A and B are shown apart, each in its own frame.
Chain A
Amino acid sequence: MADTSHGTGGLAFDKSKRAWPNEVNIFIALVLIVLIFEALGQLLPYMKGQSMLFDFNSGRDGTILNMARIKIIILQVSIIGIIALGVTQVIITGGIDLSSGSIVGATAMISMSFAQTELVNGNPNPKAIFGPWAMDLPILVPIAVGLGCGLIAGSINGLLIAYTRIPPFIATLGMMVSARGVAKWWSRGNPISFPTDEYAAISNGNLVDGLTFGVFSESWIVTQVFDGQNPAIYFLLLAVLFHFIMKYTVYGKHTYAIGSNEDAARMSGINVAWQKVMVYAVAGMLAGFAAILLTSRNVTAQAGMGFVYELDAIAMAVIGGVSLAGGRGSIIGTVLGAMIFGVIISGFTYLKLDAFYQEMVKGGIIVAAVVLDQWRQRRAALKS
């Protein structure tokens, strides 16, 4: 990828001026952060030489790696990571989506109320929202309801932005406030608990047994990393799917085109308005899916769920090199950004440090990522 030929202009997405893809830089940053935590673990006296990622003495899972740690690093960012996949596309169009966290809250409440089970330990469900008709429904019902809610909320965002021409910040801010209101109103703030076993299995079951991975079935990554890690599997499968969509389909190319230069995109015959509606609808649907995973994993829905998830999702994308100016960034970058988040959260618990420091460092890394990106862009512009 050492293509150093001089570019054809100053367009932000012109990758020809890059020494190597930005994703490589982000990967290096990820490795560096891991090394910092490893080194601190070795140096801080109270850690007694414990290692974050390796397991030198026991080899608990038959490998030298601490698989439990690697699993939680991916698992704890999977649900917000799925939201970030949608937010990435929105940001690439030059927009922003502030509503995803609230959409998660509203969707969580609504879909969970169609997933309840009639009897809990032989007693009637104490948190029942609807009558018996809504109990023990087939699992497809709550899933369809959840995806539908996300799709509707996202489409409203998209339609407002595309056809009333209000800034995405305002449209999604409105949705953020309203959807949170829906979440609280739905059951008057009461939590909704006790879903069917099938619904709980969406996140807590073992998808590895149900899926066929062909030649990979016996591979280390399937048997060790993804075993019993359903949200992580969904996250990475969706990431692969959207990577291909963004790179090789008309949908992806139009999304990049709008973010790079909306007027040019319009003049070259792209239906900009409709494309935007689709992008926001997809982002809403992904938030809806995240809500299904979150409620299934916690076997409860609460109106506060998803609070400020939108900011974490935006931060993952930004750390992953997605430019807030639009037109630049990738799904791979966002996945790496999510991993950096996961390493930081897990690393601070590993060092037994309080959550305050975690927040301070997280904020610093978000700003540093943008500063570095600006600096790279300026340097690239000077070179051409």
Chain B
Amino acid sequence: MKKSIVAAGVATLMATSAIGQELGASIARFDDNFLTVMRNGMVDHAGSLDGVNLQVEDATDDIGKQIDQVKNFVASGVDAIIVNIVDTSAGAAVSAAAGDVPLVYVNREPDNVNDLPSTQAFVASNEIESGTLEAFQICRNLRAAGKAGGAMGYLMNGQLSNQAAVQRSKDVHDVIGMDMCNFMTLIDEQTANWSRDEAQSLMTNWLSAGEDFDFVIANNDEMAIGAIQAMKAAGIDMADVEVGGVDATQDALVAMQAGELDVTVFQDAFGQGAGSVDTAIALVNGEDVDQKVYIPFKLVTPDNIGDFLDKN
């Protein structure tokens, strides 16, 4: 009897106090531009909270390693775990590895997102918005430029194993399928693996085919910038080509200010990182948490670029 009272007391103490909370986070990659902004959001936000201690690990794009990191966190007794999953189809394994320890998925949607136990949650933006906002704005710009009679272009895919890349490309195809935008035709689509360097080579290869085109849609900003560099090197006037990306990184915003990038979509990386920390703490404290926390995407064009300059 006495024992259980003590246990209950300890449990209440743990549940009500935010003092001395240990969080562990496993990030898919440390060297990814966008994920780094997100990671900074987590670290900065955790640092601003009293008594919250966040330890961040790099899964180096290896799902096996990530699961081991989660198990290590469990073994070292952290209060909650944040996972930016390497492979979105491995949700069940990661969820199982966390056991009863509260777990928050951030940014990348695991395949078991609809069957998460009550101790687990998901914080991200919905990728259906990103590709659609991007492609639809390109479509509107092309119409405004008087190209509604027919416009040709290219699509650059991110890493093909990545859910965001697949979804964003599908969004683009869906937009092109709409009556309003079906004047747009894709000449070709290829992967440039999210990378500026590969995008530059790919675009140069496309340019060497010598076909006329009006737009380039990329799954992220880095690839859009690579494409822009290749087009500039080939002496193409960037006013004649509509170029779109996703992420609204600093580099992309500078390219937009220079009149080279026409459309990007702001994904609140910092907000996702901070949101994942808040959600993890709420789970530890046993508060009522939405299991899917969506942070909205926002369209960025030269008209509203000022609102985003100091964001990502």
Contacts and interface: CB of A to CB of B under 8 A. Distances in A.
Interface in A147-179: none
B126 interface: no
A349 B154 CA distance: 12
B182 interface: no
Contacts of A255: none
B200 A228 contact: no
A55 B197 contact: no
Interface in A56-83: 58, 60, 66, 68-69, 71-72, 75-76
Contacts of B250: 126-127, 193
Contact of B190 (A75, A300, A354): A354
B9 to A, nearest CB: 41
B39 A189 contact: yes
Nearest to A228: B233
Interface size class of B (residues with CB under 8 A): 35 or more
Contact of A72 (B35, B195, B204, B251): B204
B202 A349 contact: yes
B183 interface: no
Interface residues of A, number: 44
Interface-central residue, B31, B36, B58, B251, by most chain A CB under 10 Å: B31
Nearest to B312: A126
B205 A349 contact: yes
A299 B188 CA distance: 26
A305 B31 CA distance: 9
B197 A297 contact: yes
A189 B40 CA distance: 10
B200 A303 contact: no
Interface string A295-312: 001111011110000000
Contacts of B202: 349
Interface string B269-294: 00000000000000000000000000
B33 A302 contact: yes
B205 A303 contact: no
Given A120-B254, A298-B229, A346 B32 contact: no
A346 B209 CA distance: 10
A275 interface: no
B197 A345 contact: no
B279 to A, nearest CB: 23
Given A349-B206, A355-B191, A184 B30 contact: yes
Given A298-B196, A349-B206, 17 more contacts: A75-B204, A120-B254, A188-B30, A191-B33, A228-B233, A297-B197, A297-B200, A298-B200, A298-B226, A299-B229, A300-B251, A302-B31, A303-B30, A304-B32, A349-B202, A350-B209, A355-B191
A50 B209 contact: yes
Contacts of B204: 68, 71-72, 75-76
